[in-house]
């Protein structure tokens, strides 16, 4: 795989989910990403391309960042399919290609969901909130969020954006290369990294930061107040909703519904 071909596939990988649907998921995007490679591979036999493309239009669903491992590995497998001459061997290679695609997409999705959605995204959120709080941006005060320079206001979001994307882009770019160069013994390069260890460590950092942020938030929220009725009311509100959030999490009720219900209940109670 040449550098320019890899670059082309890399840019196309940003549109993997453009045709997302509930029946074949990312199939259209998958075919779109693989198109430059397939066109190059079947340059001598362009009549084969529509038949080959039908396989790529079957159901495919994985994590958008980790998908690059699938693209590299499927390119490698497709080369084996293209090399076959006998019908029986062709069928065997196609079956192997299908199995690898299914297995790899599920594994990559599992790692990607835990790493990017479950760990990196909340971790960068924590980082952004900590930066804002350190820069004295007090968003806990409903009446007066205060004011700060545009630089301060954008800095936290920008830090979260750059950290998330530096990791995501690295995985997207390297995944293509590693997936293509590896074989099924190393699960097409997925076993090169200790994902579980990385996720475990990142989650541990996140847990410490989350607890620290809550304590910091409590200090910022209550630290400048005297012990009064307002202080008590605020403390009760915070404690009540923290406990309620834990409870609704156990009941698998999203926080969005907790907030909407709380607002509706408060409104009705105030009307009565």
Partner 1 sequence: MTTSLILLCLFAALLEMDVTYAFQTLVSRPIIAGPLLGAATGDLMAGVQVGVFTELLFTDISPLGGIVPPSGVVAVTIPLFLHSLGVELYFGFFLGVACSVLYSFFDAFLRKTRFTWLIFLEKKIGRRPDGITPIIAASLLLSFLMAFIFISVAARLCAQLMFVVFPYLTPKMHFAFRLAYMAVPWIGLAALIPTFRLKTR
Regarding 171 and contact with partner 1 (CB under 8 A), the answer is no
- Among residues 35, 31, 5, 7, the alpha carbon closest in space to that of 19 is found at 31
* Binding residue for partner 1, selected from 82, 94, 130, 148, defined by CB under 8 A: 148
Compute the distance between CA of residue 18 and CA of residue 27 in angstroms, rounded to an integer.
10
Residue number with CB closer to partner 1 (171 or 182): 171
Q: Which of 92, 94, 122, 222 forms a contact with partner 1 (CB under 8 A)? A: 122
Q: What is the dihedral of CA 145, 148, 151, 156, to 10 degrees?
A: -40
Closer by beta carbon to partner 1, 125 or else 181 = 125
Residue 91 CB, nearest distance to partner 1 (Å)?
20
Write out the E strands in 97-254.
Answer: none
Instruction: Please tell me whether residue 154 binds partner 1 under the rule CB under 8 A.
Output: yes
Indicate whether 232 belongs to the interface with partner 1 (CB under 8 A). Answer: no
Stretch that binds partner 1, among 54-62, 77-85, 94-102, 175-183 (CB under 8 A): 54-62
Q: Does 118 bind partner 1 (CB under 8 A)?
A: yes
Q: What percent helix, strand, coil does the chain show, rounded to 5?
A: 80, 0, 20
**Residue (41 or 182) nearer to partner 1, CB:** 41
Q: Which residues in the 58-97 window bind partner 1 by CB under 8 A?
A: 61, 64-65
Work out which of 98, 165, 166, 186 binds partner 1, going by CB under 8 A: 165
Q: Residue 206 interacts with partner 1 (CB under 8 A)?
A: yes
Single residue of 37, 60, 71, 132 touching partner 1 by CB under 8 A? 132
Binding to partner 1 by residue 134, rule CB under 8 A? no
The answer to whether residues 7 and 33 touch, using CB atoms and an 8 Å cutoff, is: no
For partner 1 (CB under 8 A), the number of binding residues is: 94
5 binds partner 1 (CB under 8 A): no
Q: Does 32 bind partner 1 (CB under 8 A)?
A: yes
- φ and ψ at 5, to 5 degrees? -65, -40
């Amino acid at each position: 795989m040449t550098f320019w071909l890899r670059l082309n596939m890399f840019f196309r990988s940003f549109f993997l989910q453009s045709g997302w649907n509930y029946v074949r998921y990312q199939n259209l995007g998958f075919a779109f990403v693989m198109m430059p490679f397939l066109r190059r591979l079947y340059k001598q036999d362009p009549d084969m391309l529509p038949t080959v493309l039908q396989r790529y239009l079957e159901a495919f669903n994985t994590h958008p960042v980790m998908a690059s491992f699938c693209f590299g590995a499927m390119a490698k497998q497709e080369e084996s399919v293209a090399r076959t001459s006998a019908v029986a061997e062709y069928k065997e290679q196609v079956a192997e290609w299908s199995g690898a695609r299914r297995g790899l997409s599920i594994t990559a999705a599992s790692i990607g969901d835990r790493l990017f959605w479950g760990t990196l995204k909340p971790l960068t959120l924590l980082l952004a909130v900590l930066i804002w709080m350190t820069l004295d941006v007090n968003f806990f005060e409903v009446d007066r969020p205060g004011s700060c320079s545009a630089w301060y206001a954008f800095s936290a979001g920008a830090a979260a954006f750059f950290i998330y994307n530096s990791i995501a882009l690295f995985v997207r770019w390297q995944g293509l290369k590693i997936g293509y160069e590896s074989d099924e013994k190393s699960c097409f390069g997925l076993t090169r990294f200790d994902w579980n260890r990385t996720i475990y460590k990142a989650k541990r950092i996140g847990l410490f930061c989350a607890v620290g942020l809550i304590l910091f938030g409590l200090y910022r929220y209550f630290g400048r107040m005297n012990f009064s009725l307002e202080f008590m009311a605020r403390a009760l509100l915070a404690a009540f909703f923290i406990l309620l959030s834990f409870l609704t999490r156990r009941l698998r009720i999203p926080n969005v519904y907790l907030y909407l219900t709380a607002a509706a209940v408060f409104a009705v109670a105030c009307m009565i």
